[in-house]
Structure 1
Amino acid sequence: MDERSDFDPSQDPQVNRIISKLAYSSSPPEDDAEVASLFPGFRFDVRLVAGITPIEKDGPLDFFVDRPNGMRGWIVNLTVDGTGQVFDGDTGFTVGPGDLLMFPPEARHFYGRAEGSQKWWHRWIYFQPRAFWKPWLDWSTQVDGVHLLRHRDEGKFSEIFRLFVGVDRWSHRDDALSLDLAFNRLEHILLSCARLDRDARNSPEVVDERVLAACTLISQDLARPIGVREVADHVCLSPSRLSSLFRKFMGVGVVQWRDAQRVQYAMQMLRISNVPIKSLSQMVGYDDPLYFSRVFSRHTGMSPRHFRERHTEILPTLQTEMAATDVSGLPPSLAE
């Protein structure tokens, strides 16, 4: 990745492809995830989804997204071109090129093209955080629960833009290593943002080492039937003290976090393999497939079988599109 910061967002081949698709469709195509994810009703039921929303004045995407109860996962958003409006009334604010937004689970979503602007193009990533990301997910500026990070450094803008493109590119492939590459670039984005925010407030939060050790113990063997007491013994804490610290630094209880990690891994395996669901339930620590299905449904809103069926239908379409896409996925001025 070089350090050139000059690029023309209007030359992004992905944007031009999406605009062309929208020009020939009067409604969102359900079998085209690249376009369907830009409209209300799309089910963000995977561990990571990325894309770009090129809103043009009076175009088919020129509406305000309104999710009063937010979403199950997180969304990080980078404005690429134009101006966006977030919220209205006294809490309303606008974002321009280089500004980043981060929506935690259940935070209200209300945003669209700002009045007076001809466009608002923004790249976005929907994700479920990994174990140790929590300290990076707490920017100092928040409005109604939505995190905001402003900067006008062209070099940093170019770097983060490329990382967003990289996440989008790798997340559309169906093998485990590509998904790991997508998460690698997402981690780079979140670390870069956390560093920018830290420099602005100079007060980084450090997660308690015993909580990190507990996370490591759980995540290194998800098939292991482990409870709070065993984890607490491992890190030399009482179960109640561990539970208190865990909620403070991770935002959820030990068992809830363990189940979330298991479900995330199960989602990945359902997406990229044909392992039987009964075997998968044992791989992630549940001897009873019915109980595994209940836990999975509680986290994703659907059964493991339904989840697999949806992604069996979607993946061939994504693979075909990737084959027709420029290998870099970058605007020409960035791909050279």
Structure 2
Amino acid sequence: MLPDGFPGQRLRVLPRPLVASALRRAPTSGLLVTDAGYFPSAANHGMHRPRSAPEAIVIVCTDGVGHCEVDGRVSVIRPGNALVLPPSRPHFYWADSRDPWTIWWLHAAGSQVSELLSVVAPDGGEAVIEVRDAYRAVSAIDDAISFLERDETLPHLISASGAGWTLLAQLAADALTEANQPTEPVRQAQEYLRHNFAKPVIVKELARTAGLSPSHFAALFRTAAGCGVVEYAKRLRMARARELLATTSRDISEIARTIGYNDAFYFSRTFRREHGCSPSEYRRGKN
């Protein structure tokens, strides 16, 4: 890192006694942003921590290229990637010499951090996440920096912590989405069901259209959606039923037919099993 930093940079680091104090009291004991910054075109930037850092580190790259080495593994970080480093893990990261990265970053400590990191990196190691909404991730770090720039009073520490939680929750969701990204045939089947959930669901026909065996198709679908094909269609039907019950005066039998149930009594039993109340009771509770 250059002696005077990088032109246009922003940087906030909380005093360590303040960090220790904040981690002993709620709500910052759950998650506290201890450091945050923005380094544009960070030529010659690098950080070698052979003894690791006590906090989790998140670096979101918006331009250029960076590298990170952990346990002999070298990862490349490109625009749209987030590098997540768990606490107590030695590491070395640096800007590419020919195309240095621009990064938004923060450090976070607290009891909730490990829970969020267990989703981002289940193996407990470092992770490079494909950020699905980079603008939102940058906005969260920008908010954290802005709150810490105002002052270091508890209200602004709490606000910065909220921004940090938003960032880690977004990355956890992105990591799950990346891990369960549906294959193209499954994605097409999900899209078909979203537009045709009122029609009879025949798994064999969906599999045939996808060019897969029923068993293979069903396994892929369950992995991507977290449930089977019939259950997925039922959830879509129930969501539409709730919408119609809350926003229209249609009678129950008409709603049942609209979402694919020819038998209104069967629809009512299914609805009660899923929601713990009848369609009529649900409607009264919404009005």
**Normalising by the residue count of structure 2, what TM-score does the alignment of the two structures yield?**
0.49
Identify the structure with bigger relative contact order (alpha carbons < 8 Å, sequence gap 6+): 1
**Normalising by the residue count of structure 1, what TM-score does the alignment of the two structures yield?**
0.42
